[in-house]
Amino acid sequence: MQDFSDKAIILRVGRFREADLWLRMFTPQHGLLTAFAFGGSRSRKRFLGCLDPFNLVHFGFSRSRSGTYLSLTEGTLLDGHRGLRNAPARLGPAANCMKFFEAVHVEPETSAAGFSLLRDTLDAIEHCETLSPIFPILFRLRVAFEQGYGPCLGTCSQCGKDLKTSVAPSLLVEAGCMICEDCSPGSGRRIAMSRGAVAVLEQVRTEAPLTWGSLSPQGADRRSLYDAADSFVRWHLGLKWEDGRFLRI
């Protein structure tokens, strides 16, 4: 018996008995879910082509009698991202974005927006003509921004100066805001950003992932964006990247 249905993007798949699989997935209405596909590795009929990471699937879900776990009743594949699977160089960035997304605690009220971002991100990695070499970094920044930590990038948070006229703007990590060179940063962490790096941040904050493909900042700009992403993710989302995975700090 089916209790509810929802779209899902599959983040991870594991086997727990010979024929049974568990799936970690993200859904627009129920956020992050784990569900079992009993007999999933044998009976592919109910789940034809569905049970692989990156897939966008419409699943039926059933709650166990005790309410302690979910099982999948059936699935309809909506997008198997075949182009992504045929591009080995893009699988790494896609997997990195999914690992990060799984580690972030997405608030329930933002799960629909989070789902859209994840779907648009996979579409972008699959379809961008060129893929930005720092795409996963841009994705982390966007997720942090969408969780409510996005700085206002147009003006200095202290004096209101238009940062397009600022020669040395900075990002204040803890406060999550920008200041110009004339204002005092106070005691928190400050990252110097060029106007080019600020323009990248602005594009990542406001435009769809499909437009990020050609963003390829070099040198100091790239380092400051790495630094901004790492600092924001540590301070605001409580995560760090270590040994190939994201850990709670």
By the criterion CB under 5 A, which residues form the site for Zn ion? 156, 158-159, 161, 180, 183
CB-nearer residue toward Zn ion: 3 or 181 = 181
- Smallest distance, Å, CB 99 to Zn ion? 37
Which residue minimizes CB distance to Zn ion?
Answer: 156
CB-nearer residue toward Zn ion: 94 or 156 = 156
- Smallest distance, Å, CB 229 to Zn ion? 24
Helix, strand, or coil (residue 21):
strand
Question: For the chain, what is the radius of gyration of the CA atoms?
Answer: 20
133 Cβ contact partners less than 8 Å away, ≥ 6 residues apart? 216
Q: Which two tokens stand for residue 242?
A: 């270590």
Burial group, residue 37, by CB count within 10 angstroms (0-12, 13-18, 19+):
buried
| First-residue to last-residue Cα distance in the chain | 40
CB-nearer residue toward Zn ion: 21 or 179 = 179
- Smallest distance, Å, CB 20 to Zn ion? 59
- Smallest distance, Å, CB 186 to Zn ion? 12
153, 161 Cβ separation under 8 angstroms: no
- In whole angstroms, give the CA distance from residue 44 to residue 41: 7
CB-nearer residue toward Zn ion: 97 or 180 = 180
CB-nearer residue toward Zn ion: 81 or 161 = 161
CA nearest neighbour of 81 among 51, 39, 123: 123
Taking residue 53's Cβ as centre, other Cβ atoms within 10 Å add up to 18
CA 190, distance to chain mean position in Å, is 24
- Smallest distance, Å, CB 179 to Zn ion? 5
Burial group, residue 189, by CB count within 10 angstroms (0-12, 13-18, 19+):
middle
CB-nearer residue toward Zn ion: 68 or 184 = 184
- Smallest distance, Å, CB 162 to Zn ion? 10
- Smallest distance, Å, CB 161 to Zn ion? 5
- Reported as type and span, the H/E element at residue 15 is strand 4-15
CB-nearer residue toward Zn ion: 83 or 160 = 160
- In whole angstroms, give the CA distance from residue 156 to residue 178: 5
